[in-house]
Chain A
Amino acid sequence: MANLSIIDKLKRSKILDLLQEGKRIDDRALDEPRPLVIDIGVIPHANGSARVRLGDTEIVSGIKIDLSQFVLEKDKSVIGLFADSVVTDHDGNLFDACSYASVAAIITSKIPKWEMKDDIPVLIENQESDAPITTIPISVTMGRIGEFIIVDPNIDEWGCLDARITITTNSDGNIVALQKGGSDGFTFEQLVKCSELSIAVGKKIRETVKQATEGGQ
């Protein structure tokens, strides 16, 4: 907050004025995330992939499972799964957009099958299996401007946040990850409100992710 330019300061006062009337700069409700569009299988060469548009923020995520990263042992295998995300358009809240893209890509990824033959791992063709996914973690990033908590800040709002918090919930509605950022704090009451928002908003987004990833690649 300390290094705002004149334009940012004007923007902040406009955004704050609107919030006082219960409005946001892009006409969303305070607890309303931007429309989420997920396409899966956009990079056929990857083991899993997804393109996510959260409003005008766009991320492409690819999953690669590298043979050299495999450790194959009897009754025990460890797989290395790499999720690389590329930001193709930035309109605020890369946290959630990247998170949704990686989650969608991982859910739809196919794990190749390798077997040890004479101590050498050999790829078994056409025997891919689904990734063993047990829960769908959904992150919800919220920002505080003045006394207002907004869900999924866009780039204009992002520039003048007092503080940010990202809370991730799993399919059971439990909180599984959390990080506060930004150069100011939250009160206890605000944090409780944020957890409730994350659970409620995350539930809807999880449905969108589920629908988009159903049937796999």
Chain B
Amino acid sequence: MGGREANVVLLDENGIRSDGRKVNETRKVTIKAGVLKNASGSAYIEFGGNKYHMEPFSVGERKKPAPSRREIEISKVIKEALEPAVMLEKFPRTAVDVFLEVLQADGGTRCAALDAASVALADAGIPMRDLVCACASGKAADALILDVNNEEDQAGQADMPIGYMPNLGKITLLQLDGVLTADEYKKCIELGLEGCKQVYEIQKNALREKYFSSGDKD
């Protein structure tokens, strides 16, 4: 973040980003609810057109199975981002476990994880006040951008993940890595919230798809 030299052009003269997106465009988001048979609820999410192959132990880099500092931090912020949405008072003396597995990372993992967790909780039939949708905004090549990818995260100027409950208008996750002026900060949140709302529609569709698919599919 910040100081690292960019070898790639993050934004060309036409305002198009390195992966062909406009500044206010998210990557293609795919969410599927209810993908696991033996969990109370589950969801699968893809941010971006990355091909996903499940080939454990055949990947080039292997991570240690114990949670790293980063994973502990992400767990904490995701827990705190979900908590206000879940009606915990309906579950006295009960633990609700949410397991998140990042199969492939290309920036924005905490947002994608939060999006999937929220759909999985809804899929499990857990009473919720709202869905939590998340999307990152940030700054690269002096422009404010939506849904920061890994390249932009590494060589860009700022990355700001946002978690949002759209019906309650509450921001439940907010972090910033990088430098923004007070004005950019405001605009960056607004841009991120736009992305959140787009993701929210996809989340709703994923749940509709599972529970009402016979009626809605064309």
**Are B171 and A185 within 8 A (Cβ)?**
yes
Scan residues 104-122 of chain A and give those whose CB is less than 8 A from a CB of chain B.
none
**Are A186 and B160 within 8 A (Cβ)?**
no
**Are B170 and A184 within 8 A (Cβ)?**
yes
Main secondary structure of the interface of B (DSSP, over half): mixed
Which stretch (A38-46, A73-81, A85-93, A172-180) binds chain B? A172-180
Which stretch (A61-69, A125-133, A189-197) binds chain B? A189-197
Alpha-carbon distance A195/B171, docked complex (angstroms): 14
Encoded as 1 (CB less than 8 Å from any A CB) or 0, chain B from 168 to 181 comes to 11111111111111
Q: Chain A residues near B193 (CB, 8 Å)?
A: 188
**Are B174 and A178 within 8 A (Cβ)?**
yes
The residue in chain B whose Cβ has the minimal distance to the Cβ of A168 is: B176
Pick the residue among A177, A191, A196 that contacts B177 (CB under 8 A): A177
Interface residue? A181 (CB, 8 A): yes
Q: Chain A residues near B176 (CB, 8 Å)?
A: 175-179
Scan residues 144-181 of chain B and give those whose CB is less than 8 A from a CB of chain A.
160, 165, 168-181
**Are B190 and A185 within 8 A (Cβ)?**
no
The residue in chain B whose Cβ has the minimal distance to the Cβ of A187 is: B169
**Are A170 and B179 within 8 A (Cβ)?**
yes
Pick the residue among A179, A187, A188, A195 that contacts B190 (CB under 8 A): A188
Q: Chain A residues near B189 (CB, 8 Å)?
A: 188, 191-192
Alpha-carbon distance A196/B185, docked complex (angstroms): 11
Alpha-carbon distance A184/B171, docked complex (angstroms): 8
Alpha-carbon distance A185/B168, docked complex (angstroms): 10
**Are A184 and B84 within 8 A (Cβ)?**
yes
Main secondary structure of the interface of A (DSSP, over half): mixed
**Are B88 and A165 within 8 A (Cβ)?**
no
A contacts with B, residue count (CB < 8 A): 24
Which of A174, A182, A185, A195 has the most chain B CB atoms inside 10 A of its CB?
A: A185
The residue in chain A whose Cβ has the minimal distance to the Cβ of B165 is: A185
**Are B170 and A178 within 8 A (Cβ)?**
no
Alpha-carbon distance A195/B160, docked complex (angstroms): 14
Interface residue? A54 (CB, 8 A): no
Interface residue? A2 (CB, 8 A): yes
**Are B172 and A185 within 8 A (Cβ)?**
yes
**Are B171 and A181 within 8 A (Cβ)?**
no
> In the complex, what's the smallest C-beta–C-beta distance from B188 to chain A, in angstroms?
9
Q: Chain A residues near B186 (CB, 8 Å)?
A: 192, 195
Chain A to chain B contacts (Cβ below 8 Å), 10 pairs: A174-B179, A176-B178, A179-B175, A180-B173, A182-B80, A185-B171, A185-B172, A187-B170, A191-B174, A192-B189
Binding site for A on B (CB under 8 A): 76-77, 80, 83-84, 88-89, 160, 165, 168-182, 185-186, 189-190, 193
Sorted from nearest, which 5 A-B pairs have the closest CB atoms? A185-B170, A178-B176, A185-B172, A180-B174, A183-B83
Binding site for B on A (CB under 8 A): 2, 165, 170, 173-188, 191-192, 195-196, 199
